Amino acid sequence: MSLRIKFIQDINFRLSEHPSILYFRWSPAESWGSTWLFLVTSISAYITISAALHIFLHHLLRRRHSVPVGPIPALHSLTMSLLSATIFAGILSSSVAEIRDTRWFWRRSKTPFQWLLCFPLGTRPSGRVFFWSYIFYLSRFLHIFRTFFTILKNPHKFPYFQIFNHSILICMSFLWLEFSQSFQVLAILSMTLVFAMVYGYRFFTEIGFRKSYFPFVMFCQIVLVVMNMGWHVGVLVLHFWKGGCNGMGAWVFNTVLNSFVLLFVLNFYVKKCLSERDFAASRTETKDTTSEISYKLLTSNRS
């Protein structure tokens, strides 16, 4: 029992009490990638490289439909799943510790859940939860490699939605840190939980397991978008009810971006469902036609 307690304490120390976590500070001098120039340059480079790779492969591979990538996508999915699970555990542990240590300051005006949704005015991007928010921000740059795998698998189709979605995530995670935006803890918890499950599912399917008939990835992404919109609404309510939440300027911009993401997701999946329905209908029609032709041939042979 003592070994188990010691193990739990050691994990908790590494997730929320380590000096590098406790004394983290988001600033250009101390945090890599924390400038606006870096944000604009990195997103521009991502879009440019994706477009260049698509154009190059589209003209080079006129007959071939894909480029073999081997086990790299599976390894990427496994890495993203484990990293997302680590960030989830880290920010959850850090949030509990942060609430424990700072509750004396805001307990008369807020509950712990309200604190997660609405940071007090004047909150600075430093300490435990912002360390894990920073790790989440950095993980977005590992996330974008999924786009390159998509282009390699299908060089003749440019993944507009994927590039847009990844760019928005990078931008939003930067704004969370830059403006100490409220609700980011709940957003990161929900996203990392979903990413851990989705990328875990993708890993198993990419190493040979059969895909589920249930649209698991689609369902998770829709749930995630709806949850994020719910967090946005919750912040707005608390902002007017509790006298102000930190980072509301960035909240407005993030809300606009999330609205675009929601529209893109709904548009993408509605088109996908319609195309699958049309494909199923065409297959049924083809089967009926084939059966009718076979019946006529059989009848003519008998006569």
Q: Where are the domains of the chain?
A: 2-254
pLDDT in tens, 82-108: 999 999 999 999 998 888 877 766 666
Of 219, 194, 186, residue with least CA distance to 80: 194
| Residues 154 and 65 sit within 8 Å (Cβ to Cβ) | yes
DSSP code string of 221-240: HHHHHHHHHHHHHHHHHHHH
Residue 66, token pair as written in the block = 């894909």
Torsions phi, psi of 25, nearest 5?
-145, 130
Question: Residue 70 — left, alpha, or beta (φ > 0 → left; ψ -120 to 50 → alpha)?
Answer: left
pLDDT score at 266? 72
Phi and psi angles of residue 126, each rounded to the nearest 5 degrees, phi first? -150, 155
The pLDDT value recorded for residue 272 is 67
pLDDT for res 160: 87
The answer to whether the beta carbons of residues 130 and 34 sit under 8 Å apart is: no
Model pTM score:
0.84
Write down the pLDDT at residue 87: 96
DSSP state of 35: S
pLDDT reported for residue 295: 47
Distance separating alpha carbons of residues 68 and 48, to the nearest angstrom? 22
Structure tokens at 264: 């893109």
Question: In whole angstroms, what is the distance from residue 234 CA to residue 285 CA?
Answer: 49
Q: How big, in percent rounded to 5, are the helix, strand and coil portions of the chain?
A: 75, 0, 20
Which residues are bridge partners to 126 per DSSP?
Answer: 25
pLDDT, one tens digit per residue, over 260-285 is 777 777 776 677 666 666 655 555 55
Q: Which segments in the chain show pLDDT lower than 50?
A: 295, 297-298
Q: Tell me, what's the pLDDT at 251?
A: 83
Helix axes 128-143, 160-178, angle to 10 degrees: 160
